[in-house]
């Protein structure tokens, strides 16, 4: 799992660094308020994948987004404007072999 800068975004005249997080298991994306710009989900070779983004730092917060990908397939979405998370960004990932990439700031 890693974090790296993938570009600069501008909102209201201020430069913003957008980072990406790759997860192959449930976990925190960001332990502070932030925005989600895009998400890509790939289902595993033998099982479909599902991801739920919560507004929390440890799961169990308000569900903000849910998506699914079929077995061996994938899906992605870009949010314009990005989705705001007031507490933190937490991803609950289900499905054997499923992976998710989340662009956030």
Q: Which pLDDT does position 2 carry in this prediction?
A: 42
C-alpha distances out from residue 3 to 30, 43, 46, 91, Å:
10, 21, 27, 15
3-state secondary structure of 85: strand
17: tokens are: 């660094």
Q: Which residues of the chain have pLDDT under 50?
A: 1-10
Q: Which pLDDT does position 15 carry in this prediction?
A: 54
Alpha helices in 1-105 (DSSP H): none
Q: Which pLDDT does position 17 carry in this prediction?
A: 87
C-alpha distances out from residue 61 to 34, 56, 74, 79, Å:
14, 5, 25, 20
CATH code for the domain defined by 3-104: 2.60.120
């Amino acid at each position: 799992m890693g974090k790296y800068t993938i570009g600069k975004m501008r909102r209201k005249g201020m430069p913003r660094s957008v980072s990406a997080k790759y997860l192959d298991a449930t976990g925190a994306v960001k332990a502070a308020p932030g925005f989600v710009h895009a998400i890509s989900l790939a289902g595993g070779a033998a099982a479909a994948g599902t991801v739920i983004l919560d507004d929390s730092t440890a799961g169990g917060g308000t569900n903000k987004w849910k998506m699914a990908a079929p077995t061996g397939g994938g899906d992605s979405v870009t949010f314009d404007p990005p989705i705001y998370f007031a507490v933190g960004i937490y991803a609950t990932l289900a499905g054997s072999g499923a992976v998710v990439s989340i662009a956030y700031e």
